Amino acid sequence: MNPLKAYEPGKLPTPSGPVPTSGVVTLRVRYNECDPMGVTHHGAYVTWLEMGRVELLRSAGVSYAELEQAGVFLVVVKLELSYKRPARYDDQIEVRTVVQRATRVKIEHGYEVWRASPELGSELCVVASSTIACVDGQGRVTALPEWMSGTH
């Protein structure tokens, strides 16, 4: 048995169509994501980046819950954010997610978080990147499903 393939291939979900390499999620800054002055807390952006990754996967026709049920777990091993401008309560936000690179065991994403302002137009709030590794149920590194790794 290949130690980098601990999941059960027969149980592995497969995409319903082409696997996208980019996507956009639109949301509004919620009250609980802000400080008392209405400025978005830095930690909220991390959640939004995850939303971008999860929805990119979902647009391929696969949910993260299905991957977990098949024994495939994706963990953040590196995360970098560069804050450019603040987002504020009730702003409309666009999270743009791009797969920059995929290997046998990890995926690197790039992100831009934009704020739409009626007065100012669109403003870049955050530029970010993440590295996601694939692990099994015991936390050991394992191979990504082939359709996720770009090795097929």
Q: Note if 90 is an active site residue.
A: no
Catalytic residue among 35, 90, 91, 136, which? 35
Read off the tokens for 123.
């403003």
CB 81 within 8 A of CB 126: yes
Task: For residues 48 and 91, give the distance between their C-alpha atoms in angstroms, rounded to a whole number.
Answer: 14
C-alpha separations of 32 from 48, 54, 64, 90, 115 in Å = 14, 21, 25, 11, 18
Q: In what order do the strands lie in the sheet with 106-117?
A: 22-28, 92-102, 106-117, 121-135, 73-83
Active-site residue set: 35
